[in-house]
Amino acid sequence: MKIYIKGSTTVCPAQDTPSQRLWISTLDLRMMQRKHVPLMYFYKPTGSSDFFQAQVLKEALSKILVPFYPVAGRLGRDESDISSYPLLLIQVTTFKCGGISLGIQTHHALADGTSALHFINSWSDMARGQFPNVSPFLDRTVLHSLVPPAPSFRHVEYDSCPSMITPISFPGSLSTSVFKITQDHLNNLKAKCYKNGTTTTKYSTYNILAAHVWRCVSKARCLLHNQATKLSMTVNGRPRLRPPLPSGYFGNAIFRASTIALSGDIQTEPLVNTVERIHTALNQMDDPYLKSALAYLEKVPLNQISSSPSDHEQQCPNVFINSWRFPIHDADFGWGHPIFIGRGSIGEGWIYILPSPTDDGTWTLIAGLETSHMKLFQQLICHKLICNL
């Protein structure tokens, strides 16, 4: 495929915005090494003569950058060390079929997924002539005010991930696959989980699906039974902290959750046992635990850990499973909702679970694994979903 660049431009806020330095939290600082996060939106052609007209997008972007002015800013350690690189990068690509892809990269120190979607959806609202319902809350010091003097829990989720017992050669070739998870598939998993009445706990769809994926990944990688494997997840702290963060809080408010087990246990134990491991890890992420995590992160050197897993941490034998419970399909710029949205790139051991754009109860699962592991993973995850395990 050949790509032709028709032009590029810098878009500035439509009005003067405050000229000031903004304090960023320890959660933001932990994301410095993650750099930009690439998102891809795809839109079907409408036949309209102004379909994704650049001027409409640029004018709306210029207007929305006024309330979201940090997006137009730059990162800097001090007044003499300010990066010239933008925090937001956007590319509009037109295909021969008439369809459009909208590529958006936001620096992770600027915003987590919730805030990035808040900005993107507000931009799309502005393109339709509607001012966003929720304004961004830009004072990140509210997070600092919640930090206790010292951590009160042991935060194993930020410990180093297990390494392979047997040497492996990296990097190998990477494959990415997309799976459609239907309601029937989920019902099969739930039936297995509650088989024989072994539990009365009401587990979430994420708990059950993540357990199934973790098992399939461990089997596809042919891990030794005594090989430790770590499942990492992210948790949105906004509604869990007390008091909750203000509506529209713009920044990073995600925390890491994890659970470690032997691969042999994950591959052979009843599904409900693995589900319970995940449920327990997520259930402990309450207000005292998250505040303790903030205190812990403030005491650990910045270059030691990040608040979300980095690419190399999720390589074999570990896995990161992230559910996008965001309004990811709300970005209607005036020509309809996207038909697909996903990460522009996915590392080895990264799994994303996305809701359906039609809200029909189905889910999309996107997996990145070593090519040598992907074929067996495809067989395992599809067979087990269909055959009621």
Q: What is the pLDDT of residues 148-176, one digit of tens each?
A: 999 999 999 999 999 999 877 655 799 99
Residue range 325-331: mean pLDDT, rounded: 92
User: Residue 387: pLDDT above 50?
Assistant: no
Q: Across the strands, what pairs with 39?
A: 104, 343
Residue range 8-18: mean pLDDT, rounded: 97
The predicted structure's pLDDT at residue 388:
42
Is residue 30 very low, low, confident or very high in pLDDT (cuts 50, 70, 90)? confident
- Structurally, at CATH architecture level, domain 26-76+83-144 sits in 2-Layer Sandwich (3.30)
Q: Is 326 left (phi over 0), alpha (psi -120 to 50) or beta?
A: beta
3-state SS of the chain is CCCCCCCCCCCCCCCCCCCCCCCCCHHHHCCHHHCEEEEEEEECCCCCCCCCCHHHHHHHHHHHCCCCHHHHCCCEEECCEECCCCCEEEEEEECCCCCEEEEEEEECCCCCHHHHHHHHHHHHHHHCCCCCCCCCECCCHHHHCCCCCCCCCCCHHHCCCCCCCCCCCCCCCEEEEEEEECHHHHHHHHHHHCHHHCCCCCCCHHHHHHHHHHHHHHHHCCCCCCCEEEEEEEEECCCCCCCCCCCCECCCCEEEEEEEEEHHHHHHCCHHHHHHHHHHHHHCCCHHHHHHHHHHHHHCCCCCCCCCCCHHHHCCCCEEEEECCCCCCCCCCCCCCCCEEEECCCCCCEEEEEECCCCCCCEEEEEEEEHHHHHHHHHHHHHHHHCCC
What are the distances in angstroms from CA 371 to CA 146, 263, 377?
44, 20, 10
CATH for 156-330+345-386 is 3.30.559.10
CB neighbour list of residue 102: distance below 8 Å, 6 or more residues apart: 40, 41, 42, 43, 52, 90, 91, 92, 93, 331, 338
The answer to whether the CB of 25 falls within 8 A of the CB of 293 is: no
**Whether the predicted model's global pTM rises above the 0.75 cut:** yes
Structural tokens at position 308: 């979300």
Give the whole-angstrom CA distance, residue 42 versus residue 40: 7
Is residue 213 very low, low, confident or very high in pLDDT (cuts 50, 70, 90)? very high
Do 26-76+83-144 and 156-330+345-386 have matching folds? yes
The predicted structure's pLDDT at residue 81:
72
Other residues' Cβ atoms within 10 Å of the Cβ of residue 103: 14
Is residue 317 very low, low, confident or very high in pLDDT (cuts 50, 70, 90)? very high
Listed by start position, the domains of the chain span: 26-76+83-144, 156-330+345-386
The predicted structure's pLDDT at residue 366:
96
- Rounded percentage of the chain residues whose pLDDT exceeds 90: 79
Looking at the annotation, which residues are catalytic?
Answer: 108, 332
- Rounded percentage of the chain residues whose pLDDT exceeds 70: 94
Structural tokens at position 262: 């032997």
Q: What is the pLDDT of residues 263-303, one digit of tens each?
A: 999 999 999 999 999 999 999 999 999 999 999 999 988 77
